[in-house]
Amino acid sequence: MRRRLTDSPRRSNKINLYVGNLSSTVTEIELNHVFSVFGPVIEVCIMNDEYIGSGQSRRYAYVKMEERMQGEAAILSLNGKLLGSHVIGVIEALPVSPVNTSPPCNKYRHRS
């Protein structure tokens, strides 16, 4: 049986963003403030080296936004812009797998 396009599952309106080249002093609160200008932010997670004990920032983060269009506007406005002392990169994060078995901050990867 052929599937029609309307038979496919609805695509979520949420968007997950990868933010790279962060200064080690940038906080999740600061990122939330920067991205909330474009729309509601659900979650901000700066990746760090807690697993090896240092707790230092790995200088990238994931930002989950409520609305895809607002996230795309954030990408267009913030990618290549200065945040603190670094020019940041902002792109859409791709899911690693469709199974949600890992902690919220580890289930996305940046596009190559």
Q: Which domain holds residue 18?
A: 12-93
Q: CATH number of the domain at 23, please.
A: 3.30.70.330
Segment 78-89, tens digit of pLDDT: 999 999 899 999
**Angle of CA points 81, 107, 48, to nearest 5°:** 60
Q: Which residues lie closer than 8 Å to 90 by C-beta, 6 or more apart? A: 17, 18, 19, 20, 74, 75, 78, 79
- Quick check: is 5 in a domain? no
58 neighbors 79 (Cβ within 8 angstroms): no
pTM of the model: 0.74
Segment 44-83, tens digit of pLDDT: 999 987 766 677 778 999 999 999 999 999 999 999 999 9
**In which region does residue 68 sit, left (phi positive, over 0), alpha (psi from -120 to 50) or beta (all else)?**
alpha
- Quick check: is 112 in a domain? no
- Quick check: is 30 in a domain? yes
Q: In the chain, how many domains are there?
A: 1
- Quick check: is 4 in a domain? no
